[in-house]
C-alpha cells in the first residue's frame, strides 16, 4: 500500500524550529544506532521503541549515550521473546520499568497507552469474541500448560509477548489517553486488527503508532474525518510528534480537507478567524504552530 502522505520524516523533523516532544521508533531488531543518532540530532523530550528491540547488550547499555538526553519508553514485540537473550536484555535491563504495555503513562504532556506483543490464537484470536479465547489470562494459560511447556516456572517464553484478554480488557477500561502505541497494527493496515481500533476508540485517543510491519505508512483507509490517525513506523525510521505536516508553514492538508468537509466553502473563513478556544489565535495559525491535533478535535466535535 502506498502512503497517502509522503513520509520523509527525517527531513520534516529537521525543519522544526523546536525539538519534538515525542519520537516513535520502528522495530530496531538489534540496531539501535539510528535511535541514538536521531535523539542526538533532534533532542526529543521522550522516545518510545515500538517493539522487536532485540538489543545486543542490555538495553540500558545500548542506549547509554542518550539516557541523559531523553526519557526512554518501550513496548515489547513478538521477537523480544525469541530467545533467552532477547528476553533478558530487555525485560532484565535497567530500563525494564519503562515498559508501557498494559498501562497509560503521562509522557511529555501526553497520556500514552501501550499495548505490546501480538495476538496469538493459542491464547486469543481477536477475530473471535473475547469470551471464546482459549485462555483468559497468563495465569489461566500457566495452569493449562504441561511442566515441559513452561519457562522459568511460568508460561512459555514465547507467550510473554502474547496479548492476553485480561490485559487487553484492563487497558480498554483505562482512563482516556491521547496516544496509543502498539506492536500490532489497526484495521486500516492490510494485516491489522479491528481489536486495536476498538481499543483506540474506547480510550478516545487521537493517534495510534505501531511497529511490526516494517513500513512507514499513514494508514490508507482512514479518512480525514476518522476519529483517530494511525501511523506505522519502519525499522530504522521514526515519527516525530507533534508532526510538522507540511514543512511549508501552513496547516496540514488533511486538516484543510477536514475543514472543507465541515464548513464547505466557508472553511477558509473559519480557519482564518481568531477563536477564543485557541487563545485568540486563528485555527490556521494554531495548527501551523504545532496545535493541529486540537484544531482537528474541534472540527471533529463540530
Ligand atoms: Fe513484530
Mind giving me the DSSP string for 44-103? Answer: -SEEEE-S----SS-HHHHTGGGTTTSEEEE---GGGGSSHHHHHHHHTSTTGGGB-BT-
Q: What is the DSSP string of 172-239?
A: HTSPP-SEEEESSPBTTSTT-BHHHHHHHHHHT-SEEEE-SS---EE-TT--TTSSSEEEE--BT-EE
Ion ligand 1, residues whose Cβ is below 5 A away: 52, 77-78, 212
Return the domain boundaries, the chain.
9-241, 253-301
Calculate ∠ Cα 155-85-231, nearest 5°: 80
Phi and psi at 241, nearest 5°, equal -140, 135
Tens of pLDDT, residues 75-96:
999 999 999 999 999 999 999 9
How sure is the predictor about 277, in pLDDT bands with cuts at 50, 70 and 90?
A: confident
What does R_g of the chain's alpha carbons equal in angstroms? 20
pTM: predicted TM-score of the whole model, two decimal places:
0.76
Which has the minimum average pLDDT: 148-157, 184-193, 290-299?
A: 290-299
**Residue 246 in this model has a pLDDT that exceeds 70:** no
* Higher-pLDDT residue of 257, 194: 194
Cα(80) to ligand 1 centroid in Å equals 8
Which has the minimum average pLDDT: 55-64, 132-141, 211-220, 233-242?
A: 211-220
How sure is the predictor about 264, in pLDDT bands with cuts at 50, 70 and 90?
A: confident
**Residue 26 in this model has a pLDDT that exceeds 90:** yes
CATH for 9-241, options being 3.30.559.10, 3.60.21.10, 3.40.50.720, 2.60.40.420? 3.60.21.10
**Residue 73 in this model has a pLDDT that exceeds 80:** yes
The strand pair at 22-25 and 238-241 is best described as: antiparallel
Residue with cell 497468563: 138
- Mean pLDDT of the region 190-195: 93
Q: Is there a cis peptide before residue 111, judged by omega within 30 degrees of 0?
A: no
Cα(275) to ligand 1 centroid in Å equals 43
How sure is the predictor about 177, in pLDDT bands with cuts at 50, 70 and 90?
A: very high
Cα(249) to ligand 1 centroid in Å equals 36
**Residue 15 in this model has a pLDDT that exceeds 60:** no
Cα(43) to ligand 1 centroid in Å equals 26
Amino acid at each position: 500500500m502506498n502512503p497517502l502522505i509522503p513520509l520523509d520524516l527525517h527531513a520534516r523533523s529537521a525543519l522544526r524550529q523546536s525539538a519534538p516532544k515525542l519520537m516513535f521508533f520502528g522495530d530496531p531488531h538489534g540496531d539501535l544506532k539510528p535511535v541514538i543518532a536521531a535523539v542526538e540530532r533532534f533532542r526529543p523530550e521522550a522516545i518510545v521503541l515500538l517493539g522487536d528491540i532485540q538489543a545486543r547488550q542490555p538495553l540500558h547499555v545500548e542506549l547509554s549515550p542518550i539516557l541523559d538526553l531523553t526519557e526512554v519508553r518501550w513496548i515489547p514485540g513478538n521477537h523480544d521473546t525469541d530467545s533467552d537473550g532477547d528476553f533478558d536484555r530487555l525485560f532484565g535491563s535497567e530500563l525494564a520499568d519503562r515498559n508501557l504495555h498494559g498501562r497509560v503513562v503521562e509522557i511529555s504532556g501526553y497520556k500514552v497507552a501501550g499495548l505490546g506483543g501480538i495476538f496469538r490464537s493459542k491464547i486469543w484470536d481477536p477475530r473471535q469474541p473475547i469470551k471464546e479465547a482459549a485462555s483468559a489470562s497468563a495465569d489461566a494459560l500457566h495452569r493449562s500448560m504441561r511442566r515441559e511447556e513452561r519457562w522459568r516456572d511460568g508460561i512459555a517464553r514465547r507467550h510473554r509477548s502474547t496479548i492476553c484478554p485480561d490485559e487487553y480488557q484492563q487497558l480498554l477500561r483505562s482512563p482516556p489517553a491521547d496516544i496509543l502505541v502498539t506492536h500490532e497494527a489497526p484495521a486500516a493496515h492490510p494485516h491489522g486488527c479491528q481489536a486495536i481500533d476498538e481499543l483506540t476508540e474506547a480510550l478516545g485517543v487521537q493517534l495510534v503508532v505501531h511497529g511490526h510491519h516494517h513500513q512507514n505508512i499513514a494508514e490508507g483507509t482512514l479518512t480525514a474525518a476518522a476519529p483517530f490517525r494511525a501511523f506505522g513506523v519502519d525499522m530504522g525510521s521514526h515519527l516525530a510528534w507533534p508532526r510538522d505536516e507540511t514543512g511549508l508553514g501552513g496547516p496540514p492538508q488533511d486538516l484543510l480537507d477536514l475543514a472543507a468537509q465541515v464548513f464547505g466553502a466557508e472553511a477558509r473563513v473559519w480557519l482564518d478567524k481568531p477563536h477564543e478556544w485557541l487563545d485568540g489565535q486563528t485555527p490556521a495559525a494554531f495548527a501551523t504552530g504545532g496545535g493541529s491535533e486540537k484544531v482537528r478535535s474541534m472540527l471533529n466535535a463540530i
